[in-house]
Structure 1
Amino acid sequence: MSSLRSLAVTAFLTTLTFNAHAVTAMPLPPTLDNKAYALVDYDTGQVLASSNENERFPPASLTKMMTSFIIEQRLMSGQLKETDMVRMNESAWCRGSSTESCMYVPLNGSASVLDMLRGIIIQSGNDASKAIAEHISGNEGAFAEVMNQEAKRMGMTNTHFLNATGMPMDGHYSSALDMAILAQHIIKDSSKYYPIYSEKNQPIQLFSKVEMVNIQD
C-alpha cells in the first residue's frame, strides 16, 4: 500500500504541476560542474538560472562570437559584401605545424568574407578571425576596440577584449551572463546568418596566386 500511496502522491503532484490553473513552483536550478553558467529567457531577458554569472573568466574561443557578430552586422549594413575577398597576411596565417584551430587559408591567399565567416563559426579558425579583423580595422588591436565598443553598447559590463580569437592575454575576459547577452544579440540582430551556427561543415573555396583549392570536409 505504501508504494501505491507514493505513486498516488506523485501523480497528484504531477497534476498540480501541469494544471494551467494551479500555482507551479519554480524548479531548483540545476547542479552543474561548470564554474559559471547563465540560462536566460530569449524573449524577456530574464535570468532563469545561474551560478557565478558575473564572474570574469578567459572566454577562449567564445570570443569569436563577438568577432562573427561584427562581421555579420557589417554585412547586413552593406559595409562588407559576402563576395569581398580577404587576404591572408603572414600576421594571421596558420603554419602547417600550428596547434591552433585554423581554417588554413594559404599564405598570401584569400577567401571571401562569407567563407571566412563560416571558417570562424564552423572551424573556429584563428587565422580567419585575425585576417578579417585586419581587413576591417587594419590590425587586430584596433578591431578589439570595435569589439569593446559593441560589448559596451550591449551592456556587457564584465567583458574586455584584446584580440579577435580568444588567445589567452591578461585583461582579456568575459562572464557567463555577458556571453548570454551576446548570444541574444546574435540570434536577434544577425538572423540572416544565424543558421550558419547549426552547420557542421561547408565547402570553401580558397584562392592562392598559383591555384584554386577546393576544401570539402
Structure 2
Amino acid sequence: MSSRRLLLGMIVVALAGGAYYFYDKNKTPAQAETTVNGSVVTSVLNNPASAAAKAPEVRSSITVTNAQTPVVSDFASVAPPSPPIKAWMVFDVNSNQIIGNVEPDLKISPASLTKLMTASLVFAALDDKRISLDQMVTVSEKAWKTGGSRMFIEVNKQVSVGDLLQGMIVQSGNDATVQLAEVVAGSESVFVGQMNQEAKAFGMNNTSFGDPTGLPSPDTYTTVRDLSILAQHIIKDHPSYYHYFSQPDFTYNKIKQSNRNGLLYRNIGVDGLKTGHTDDAGYCLISTAVRDGRRVISIVVGANSIRDREQISQTLLDWGFQNFSNKTVAEAGKPLVQSRVWEGETKQVSLGSLSPVTVTVPRGQENAVQVVTQYDGKLVAPLAKGQTVGSVQFVLDGKILKQEPLVVTEAVAQAGFVGRMWDKLLGMF
C-alpha cells in the first residue's frame, strides 16, 4: 500500500511539474525589492528589455560605447567646456565612462593619430614574437621616400625595430611608420588591410584607414568615439610598450627631435598619447593623464594651432578631474543581491560582479547612486560561477548612469530529483 502511495505521489509531482512549466512560461514578470548600502535594488524577473539592451559582441578588451551610452556630464549642474573645435571627448578609463563630448560620431580626418593603430599592430606582433625590438631591417625605397614628418632613415641602411618604433611614436616619422608596416605585414597594402580588420574587431564602426601614417586620403577617416576606443586598447593591451608615448625626445642619424605632445612637459600628470596635424584635420591631440590613481583621456580634433590643441586638452582634462569623481559600486566577487534559486541544493544564490565596478559621477553625488538588478529569467539550478543571469544598472536621478552584467558569484549545484520536483510544485502557488 505504501508503495502505491509513493508511486501516486510521484505521478502527482510529475504532473505538477508539467503544469508548473506551462504556468512559468506564461506568467507575468515578478518584482522584489531589497537594499544595498542604502540604495533600492529592484529585481525584475523575465525582463525582455534586459536582453534587448545587450550590445553586439566584438573582440575587445574594453567596453565599447555607442550613441546610447550615458554621458556623465548630462547628470551634472556644471556646464561642459565649449572649445572652438570640430569635436572632442573626455573619457574616464577606470570606469569606462564618457565624462563629456561634442560631436562624438562626426567623421573627421585623424592625421597622425592614425599611427596609434599602426602602433597597436606592431605591439601585437612584438607580443606574438613575430618580430623583436632588436631585429634589424633594411630600409626600403618606399619608406625612405614617404613625405611629411620624418625620422630620416636612409634607403638600404639597417635600422632596428626598436628605433623605428621611437621614430614613429616620438618623432611621428612617416618613413618609420611605413617601414614598420612592411616589417609586420610584408607590404604597406597588406598592413592597411590588417588595420581595417583590427578596427572592426575593436568595434570602431565609423573608421577606415587608407594608409598607416594618416597622410590625407579619402579612405582615412574616424570619429572621436572610435579614437577613444583605440587609445584605451593601447593603454590596456600593451603596457610594456606604453612608455614610448611619454618619451621626451629621440635622436637618430644625429638628428634630435622632441616629442610633439607639449603637455608632457607641464607636470600635470600627462604621459601620452599622440599628436596629429594636416591642413584638412587641423591640429589634433589625444592626451591622457593620471591623477590620484585615476586615468582620464581627452581627445581634441580640429584645433587652429599647436598652442590651441594643448590648451584645450589641458582645460578638458582639468574639467574632467575637478568636477567628477569615481566611486566603487561593486566589489569583485561580493554579492550585490541574494536571490531565490529554484531546483538547487541551496535556495539562495549570490549575484554581483566578478570584477570591481567603478562609476564616474559629478562631485557631491557619490552617495546618490542606486543599484537596480534585472534578471533575464527565473534562476534555475545548476548555476555556474561567472554565469550571466541579467544586468545591474547604476542609477542616478532616476536615469541609468551605467549598466554591467549581473553574474553568479557562487555556484549552485542542481538538487536531486525530489528536490527539483518539490520546487516545481511550490512554484505553482
TM-score, normalisation: structure 2: 0.41
Q: Given that residues 89 and 107 in structure 1 are in contact (C-alpha distance below 8 angstroms), is that contact kept between their aligned partners in structure 2?
A: yes
Q: 2:121 aligns with which of 70, 80, 84?
A: 70
Larger Rg: 2
The letter of the residue matching 1:45 is N
Shift of 1:175: 0.7
Secondary structure of 1:184's aligned partner: helix
Shift of 1:120: 0.4
Partner of 1:188: 236
Q: CA RMSD in A?
A: 1.7
Deviations 1:156-211 (A, max 9, x none): 1110111000011112111111111111110111111111101121244xxxxxxx
4+ aligned runs moved over 4 Å, structure 1:
213-217
Q: 1:175 aligns with which of 202, 206, 223?
A: 223
Deviations 1:38-96 (A, max 9, x none): 1111122211100111111111111001111111121122111111112211111148x
Q: 2:202 aligns with which of 154, 158, 173?
A: 154
Q: 1:117 aligns with which of 156, 159, 165?
A: 165
Deviation larger for 47-56 or 77-86: 77-86
The letter of the residue matching 2:244 is I
Q: Given that residues 125 and 184 in structure 2 are in contact (C-alpha distance below 8 angstroms), is that contact kept between their aligned partners in structure 1?
A: no
Q: 2:150 aligns with which of 87, 102, 111?
A: 102
Question: Residues of 2 paired with 1:51 and 1:200: CA distance?
Answer: 30
Q: 1:81 aligns with which of 118, 122, 132?
A: 132
1:200 aligns with 2:251: no
Question: Residues of 1 paired with 2:137 and 2:113: CA distance?
Answer: 22
Question: Residues of 1 paired with 2:238 and 2:78: CA distance?
Answer: 32
Question: Residues of 2 paired with 1:184 and 1:26: CA distance?
Answer: 28
Task: Quickly say closer, same or farther: Cα 1:141–1:164, change in 2 above 3 A.
Answer: same
Partner of 2:92: 41
Larger proportion of strand:
2
Q: Given that residues 94 and 127 in structure 1 are in contact (C-alpha distance below 8 angstroms), is that contact kept between their aligned partners in structure 2?
A: yes
Aligned length: 183
The letter of the residue matching 1:93 is W
Question: Residues of 2 paired with 1:180 and 1:27: CA distance?
Answer: 23
Q: Given that residues 187 and 194 in structure 1 are in contact (C-alpha distance below 8 angstroms), is that contact kept between their aligned partners in structure 2?
A: yes
- What runs of 5+ residues in structure 2 fail to find an aligned partner? 1-74, 258-429
Secondary structure of 1:91's aligned partner: helix
Secondary structure of 2:250's aligned partner: coil
Partner of 2:336: none
Partner of 1:139: 187
The letter of the residue matching 2:225 is L
The letter of the residue matching 1:167 is L
1:165 aligns with 2:165: no
- What runs of 5+ residues in structure 1 fail to find an aligned partner? 1-23, 205-212
Q: Given that residues 86 and 132 in structure 1 are in contact (C-alpha distance below 8 angstroms), is that contact kept between their aligned partners in structure 2?
A: no
Q: 2:107 aligns with which of 39, 45, 56?
A: 56
Q: Which has the higher contact order (CA 8 A, sep 6+)?
A: 1
Secondary structure of 1:78's aligned partner: coil
Secondary structure of 2:89's aligned partner: strand
Partner of 1:30: 81
Question: Residues of 1 paired with 2:250 and 2:77: CA distance?
Answer: 42
Secondary structure of 2:90's aligned partner: strand
Shift of 1:214: 5.0
